[in-house]
């Protein structure tokens, strides 16, 4: 029987199994988003706007030999061309920009500019750029020697681009003494902080607005970015509105990515699967600036004995990494989970049994056992035991994530006309922040969700954090509980006076003022009795986090059931069970949606995504959504999120952890089906056939 404090998936949820603050509410902005009523920054065309485009290097390394600025300037509508660099170190690197009165003038101007580039040799392959490997350390060698068996294996992953549907950029409504900056960002306030000098305005003279964001996944963190800064400077210079958004190719090339990785495992272990130790050496493929290539293995989730770690970033002539949903984790998790399955196979052990032995967290062990029951792990066949054309495989992986503190200011305003506003400047990047704020506020206050108007995504509202590190819900919820409690207390104090009630006699429930056991005053009438609007304030800070002993790391475990066609190498993932710790669930539907989204992104990463650089020219050959392949509806398995609510009463980080273990679990399931490991993501048919020894090579 399911544990009573675990929430099973909505579609087969038994009654009374655990609880959330709200089980059924849909996103407050769901209808606006699907009907197009929601206006994203990219949708905002301000009359009289200037349009700006970057001039970009078309090759891995390119030297700008010549250009025809005069011809470009003669195109009607082209106002300026500024070329500031003579060389680009990756495809998409900016060397200048053009300003015009219309997108059409920009495109004509660009073709008249006729940049001629000299192509130079580019570094495009991580495997080829890894220098001579230093010898294994003495301690690692000793540990390696102590095991009765050893595993030496190389695992690799490719670069994943964020592929935000709404590309990076800003639309700035600039008037000489004020501006509204419509940004597509994960940090409304970080955009504000960077722009005063560029806009040549005081902070009080401009507002950053970010009502909706069409995807970011980490790539829209950290300020206004190249796009925002350039647009702001041009707006100030020309005293005009400016529109600057990347096109689809630019989005792939120059707005960040998850770096590729190589992991060389050399570990010794005993016949019972105990890892004695050894060395795990990782490399990350990064851009010319040589940073940001972390690969998180060993993750610390397993007891790997005395295993040493070494890491090096390797520069390629390619777009630079940026934070990407659990930076460094999926690539490390893929290597770590595969490594464990290979150890289990070598020892003749069930990979679940091996993991239950090595997992450090008792909670994650419990989640793993629960997930195994849900997927039907007992039906898993021994690795390599199948002979048919289509083979079945099961695999698993685990995850964990820390809770990071962030300062949040929240306001809950009760107006005399009965309206209620919940206010924070923190943006909703699609995770459901807007809805979460509404649910926390309404349930704390004792009113219905639709009674609350949520105002978010503006730099003139109370300050909140950037959406990175899975911090927004975790840190906003306590602030809004405090703000709503403050508002409620102030309102009841005022009403106690007006109604000559005893202190503590009044309360709010279901949107009605209660006096003792009876309904005393309707909400609107009560608000009309208030002398002023009431503002409740709440803050979340380090102290709040430290005081809340119940919140901590979010663990999880995922299980995959797949089929692989051994004649074609095509994988069909049938089911994924994702058990995820989430503490107090604010909204069941949104929490499940977060987990499903993480799983989908992990599946797409495992099976398809690959930023492919031309080895001759260094250009990315697939900067589009046609050949940069992302999983679609027909590639989706049945995904069963299970919300694990046992260990905590506070909200837990949920954005990043669910995308960490998916790719490893899929690769392990493939290994189980085939009997031979595919150690390189994405798991494409050519690699599967090669692993089976049936891929014919030229």
Binding site residues, another protein, CB under 8 A:
58-59, 104, 107-108, 111, 117, 388-390, 565, 567-570, 572, 607-608, 612, 614-617, 619, 621-623, 626-627, 629, 631-635, 684-686, 689-690, 694-698
Report the nearest approach of another protein to the CB of residue 574 (Å).
11
**Cβ-based nearer residue to another protein, 71 or 449:** 71
Report the nearest approach of another protein to the CB of residue 59 (Å).
7
Report the nearest approach of another protein to the CB of residue 92 (Å).
11
Q: For 518-544, b where at least 16 C-beta lie within 10 A, e where not — what string?
A: eebbebeebbebbeeebbbbbbbeeeb
**Cβ-based nearer residue to another protein, 276 or 596:** 596
Tokens, residue 345: 């196979």
DSSP letter, residue 68 = -
**Cβ-based nearer residue to another protein, 506 or 681:** 681
**Cβ-based nearer residue to another protein, 328 or 618:** 618
**Cβ-based nearer residue to another protein, 145 or 389:** 389
Report the nearest approach of another protein to the CB of residue 385 (Å).
16
Report the nearest approach of another protein to the CB of residue 294 (Å).
27
Handedness of CA 302, 18, 421, 548 (dihedral sign): negative
**Cβ-based nearer residue to another protein, 498 or 615:** 615
Tokens, residue 688: 């599967």
Altogether, the residues listed in the chain come to a count of: 698
DSSP letter, residue 496 = H
Report the nearest approach of another protein to the CB of residue 634 (Å).
4
C-alpha to C-alpha distance for 474 and 246, rounded to whole angstroms: 32
Q: Residue 479: helix, strand or coil by DSSP?
A: helix
Between 588-607 and 662-674, two packed helices, what is the crossing angle to 10 degrees?
Answer: 50
Phi, psi at residue 368, to the nearest 5°? Answer: -65, -40
**Cβ-based nearer residue to another protein, 127 or 389:** 389
**Cβ-based nearer residue to another protein, 145 or 616:** 616
Report the nearest approach of another protein to the CB of residue 609 (Å).
11
Tokens, residue 61: 């390394």
Report the nearest approach of another protein to the CB of residue 583 (Å).
35
Q: How far apart are the first and last CA of the chain?
A: 55
C-alpha to C-alpha distance for 208 and 425, rounded to whole angstroms: 9
User: Hey, how many other C-beta atoms are within 10 angstroms of the C-beta on 379?
Assistant: 9
Q: Residue 246: helix, strand or coil by DSSP?
A: coil
Contact assessment for residue 140 and residue 279, using Cβ atoms and an 8 Å cutoff: yes
Q: Residue 519: helix, strand or coil by DSSP?
A: strand
Handedness of CA 401, 402, 403, 404 (dihedral sign): negative
């Amino acid at each position: 029987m399911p544990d009573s404090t675990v929430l099973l998936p909505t579609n087969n949820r038994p009654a009374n199994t655990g609880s959330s603050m709200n089980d059924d509410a849909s996103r407050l902005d769901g209808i606006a988003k699907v009907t197009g009523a929601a206006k994203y920054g990219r949708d905002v065309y301000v009359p009289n706007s200037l349009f700006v485009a970057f001039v970009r290097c078309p090759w891995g390394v390119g030297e700008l030999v010549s250009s025809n600025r005069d011809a470009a300037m003669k195109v009607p509508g082209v106002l300026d061309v500024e070329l500031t660099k003579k060389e680009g170190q990756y495809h998409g690197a900016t060397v200048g920009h053009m300003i015009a009165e219309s997108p059409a003038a920009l495109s004509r101007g660009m073709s008249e500019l006729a940049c001629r580039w000299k192509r130079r040799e580019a570094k495009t392959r991580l495997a080829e750029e890894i220098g001579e490997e230093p010898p294994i350390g003495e301690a690692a060698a000793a540990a390696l020697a102590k095991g009765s068996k050893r595993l030496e294996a190389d695992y690799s992953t490719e670069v994943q681009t964020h592929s935000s549907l709404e590309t990076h950029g800003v639309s700035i409504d600039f008037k000489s003494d004020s501006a509204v900056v419509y940004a597509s960002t994960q940090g409304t306030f970080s955009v504000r902080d960077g722009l005063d000098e560029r806009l040549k305005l005081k902070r009080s003279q401009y507002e950053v607005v970010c009502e909706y964001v069409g995807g970011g996944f980490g790539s829209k963190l950290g300020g206004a970015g190249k796009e925002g800064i350039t647009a702001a400077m041009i707006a100030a210079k020309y005293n005009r509105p400016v529109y600057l958004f990347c096109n689809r190719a630019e989005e792939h090339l120059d707005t960040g990515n998850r770096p590729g990785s190589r992991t060389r495992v050399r570990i010794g272990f005993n016949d019972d699967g105990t890892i004695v130790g050894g060395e795990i050496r990782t490399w990350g493929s990064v851009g010319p600036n040589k940073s940001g290539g972390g690969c998180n293995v060993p993750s610390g989730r397993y007891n790997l004995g005395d295993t040493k770690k070494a890491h090096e970033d390797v520069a390629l002539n390619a777009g630079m990494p940026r934070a990407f949903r659990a930076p460094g984790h999926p690539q490390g998790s893929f290597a770590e989970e595969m490594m464990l399955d290979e150890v289990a196979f070598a020892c003749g052990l069930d990979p679940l049994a091996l993991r239950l032995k090595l997992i450090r967290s008792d909670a994650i062990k419990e989640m793993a056992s629960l997930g195994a029951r849900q997927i039907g792990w007992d039906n898993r066949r021994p690795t390599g035991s199948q002979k048919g054309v289509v083979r079945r495989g099961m695999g698993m992986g685990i995850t964990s994530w820390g809770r990071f503190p962030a300062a949040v200011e929240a306001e809950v305003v009760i107006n005399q006309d009965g309206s209620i506003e919940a206010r924070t400047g923190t943006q909703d990047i699609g995770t459901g922040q807007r809805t979460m704020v509404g649910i926390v506020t309404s349930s704390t206050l004792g009113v219905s969700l639709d009674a609350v108007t949520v105002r978010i995504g503006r730099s003139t509202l109370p300050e909140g954090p950037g959406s990175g590190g899975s911090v927004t819900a975790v840190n906003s919820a306590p602030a809004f509980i405090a703000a709503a409690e403050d508002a409620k207390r102030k309102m009841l104090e005022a009403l106690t006076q007006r109604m000559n009630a005893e202190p503590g006699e009044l309360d709010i429930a279901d949107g009605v003022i209660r006096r003792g056991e009876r309904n005393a005053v309707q909400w609107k009438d009560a608000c009309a009795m208030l002398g002023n609007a009431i503002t409740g304030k709440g803050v979340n800070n380090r102290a709040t986090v430290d005081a809340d002993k119940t919140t901590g790391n979010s663990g999880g475990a995922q299980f995959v059931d797949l089929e692989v066609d051994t004649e074609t190498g095509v994988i069909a993932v049938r089911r994924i069970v994702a058990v995820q710790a989430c503490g107090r669930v604010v909204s069941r539907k949104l929490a499940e949606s977060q987990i499903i989204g993480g799983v989908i992104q992990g599946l797409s990463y495992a099976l398809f995504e690959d930023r492919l650089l031309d080895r001759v020219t260094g250009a990315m050959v697939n900067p589009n959504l046609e050949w940069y392949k992302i999983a679609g509806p027909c590639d989706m398995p049945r995904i069963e999120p299970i919300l694990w609510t046992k260990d905590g009463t506070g909200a837990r980080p949920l954005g990043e952890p669910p995308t960490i273990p998916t790719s490893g679990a899929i690769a392990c399931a493939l290994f189980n089906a085939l009997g031979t490991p595919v150690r390189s993501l994405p798991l494409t048919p050519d690699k599967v056939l090669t692993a089976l020894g049936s891929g014919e090579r030229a």
